[in-house]
A and B are shown apart, each in its own frame.
Chain A
Amino acid sequence: MSEAKNPLTAEIKKLIGVTGEKIEASPPWGIEREGLRIFTNAIMDPDPRYWDDEFAKKTRFRGIVAPPIYCSYIARKTLAGEPDPISRAFRENPNSDGIGGVREDMPGALPPIPTPLKRILNAGNEIEVYKYPTLGDHIFSQARYSDIQGRVTKDGTPMLVVTTETTYTDQNGAVLCILRQSGIRR
């Protein structure tokens, strides 16, 4: 029986530090109230800083703000007028899992990791928050591979731990938050 090799190849190592294109993550109209209403209901956060103008003006934020990492979710949305990704996915594969074929051509995406290890597990998240976006703000994001580690587990399973760091900024370049997500490939 051959021993499993560490899957961290020289080709993969070269991806550490590779940065994706900086893209606008918000819709063309920026941060808006209806998006905040839908999102804050979904996290069950009734904080008036997200919807009550009069109250929000008196806070340290001087107006309505978005929840801490709201900006990290808005790039996934399908804009009006775009071809329907759900119809496309199920037309191509009636057994689609709802992800495959739906999220294609994600702008700003990092290059794929050249590895035969296809199963991906979320190993953990790290979040730093510096500023909350306000109504009308435009959000930009840029991802990079901040670290890639390879190893072979005690039972001989090769795995990669890929950490992706995404920085969110506003239209003035102010950093809103930094998210790091580590995924295990095995």
Chain B
Amino acid sequence: MVTADELRNKAQVYFDDIEVGQDMPPLVIGPLTTTHLFRWSAAIENWHRIHYDQNFAIYHDGLPNVLGQGSWKQSILPRYLKDICLPDGWAWKVQFQHRAMIVPGDTITVWAKVTGKRKADGLGLIDMDVGMRLQPDVESCPGTATIVLPIRGGKAIPYPFVAPQGA
């Protein structure tokens, strides 16, 4: 896991330094416990019992265990991309599917691999495959993302972000 000081002092990654095929530094979370899942349910007030009531999940819904929430996964990918872009880049968009279920005991490796880089309106766009891999090399959340990284000597990335024309 990343620390507050690492995020406070994070060095900027530049568009110029990224190569197609490059793996971005992963974020490892876990092992997840029922307590982590319950904390998320309480934080967003999602009271669906399959996420914290093991008897209900197994004996009522026929699931293998309580399940990690799709809404939690949905928050983790943007958070990971945000970390990559800090301090002055922008995690613009991400899309993903929900595949393998996450259950207590799983350790999740959030990852990104660069598939392309392009410039639009003077901004440096990085296209990536992304996902959340479980420990037995099972992909839980395959998808794609586009982030924007500063170009050395280039213009500042606007904030609020403005989508470049034609990107």
Cα(A175)–Cα(B92), bound, Å: 13
Given contacts A67-B82, A131-B160, contact A38 B49 (CB under 8 A): no
Q: Given A39, A43, A68, A124, which contacts B91 in the complex, CB threshold below 8 Å?
A: A68
Cα(A76)–Cα(B97), bound, Å: 23
Decide if A127 touches B82 in the complex (CB within 8 Å). no
Decide if B46 touches A76 in the complex (CB within 8 Å). yes
CB contact list, B38-57 vs A, under 8 A: 39-40, 42-50, 53, 56
Decide if B44 touches A128 in the complex (CB within 8 Å). no
Q: How many interface residues does chain B have, given as a range?
A: 35 or more
Decide if A129 touches B49 in the complex (CB within 8 Å). no
Stretch of B3-11, B17-25, B117-125 on the interface side: B3-11
Bitwise, B101-143 to A at CB < 8 A (1) or not (0) is 0000000000000000000000000000000000000000001
Q: How many interface residues does chain A have, given as a range?
A: 35 or more
Q: Given A95, A131, A180, which contacts B159 in the complex, CB threshold below 8 Å?
A: A131
Decide if B56 touches A47 in the complex (CB within 8 Å). no
Which of B43, B53, B143, B159 has the largest count of A CB atoms less than 10 A from its CB?
B43
CB contact list, A114-156 vs B, under 8 A: 122-131
B70 sits at the interface (CB 8 A): yes
| A-B interface, 6 closest residue pairs, ranked by CB to CB distance from nearest | A131-B160, A42-B43, A98-B47, A68-B78, A126-B95, A46-B4
| A residues whose Cβ falls under 8 Å from a Cβ of B | 38-39, 41-49, 52, 55, 59-61, 67-69, 73, 76-78, 86, 95-99, 102, 122-131, 174-175, 180
What are 30 A-B contacts with C-beta separation under 8 Å?
Answer: A38-B43, A42-B39, A42-B42, A42-B44, A46-B2, A46-B3, A52-B8, A59-B87, A60-B88, A73-B75, A76-B44, A76-B46, A78-B45, A97-B60, A97-B61, A98-B47, A98-B53, A122-B70, A122-B98, A124-B97, A125-B98, A126-B93, A127-B93, A128-B93, A128-B163, A129-B92, A129-B93, A130-B161, A130-B163, A180-B95
| B residues whose Cβ falls under 8 Å from a Cβ of A | 1-4, 7-8, 29, 39-40, 42-50, 53, 56, 60-61, 70-72, 74-79, 82-83, 86-88, 90-98, 143, 159-163
